[in-house]
Amino acid sequence: MITSKKRILVVEDNQVNLELFTDLLHVGGYECLYTTKGEEVLDIAKREKPALVLLDIQLPGVDGLTVNKILKSNEETKNIKVVALTAYAMKGDKEMFLEQGFDGYISKPVKMKEFLSAIEEYLSA
Q: Locate the domains of the chain by residue range.
A: 7-124
Tell me, letter by letter, the H, E, C secondary structure of 41-96.
HHHHHHHHCCCEEEECCCCCCCCHHHHHHHHHHCCCCCCCEEEEEECCCCCCHHHH
Q: Write the class of the CATH domain 7-124.
A: alpha beta
Residue 119 reports pLDDT greater than 90: yes
Summarised one tens digit per residue, pLDDT across range 9-50 is: 999 999 999 999 999 999 999 999 999 999 999 999 999 999
Judged by average pLDDT, the poorest of 78-82, 108-112, 115-119 is: 108-112
pTM over 0.85: yes
Q: How far apart are CA 34 and CA 8, in angstroms?
A: 8
Summarised one tens digit per residue, pLDDT across range 86-101 is: 987 778 888 999 999 9
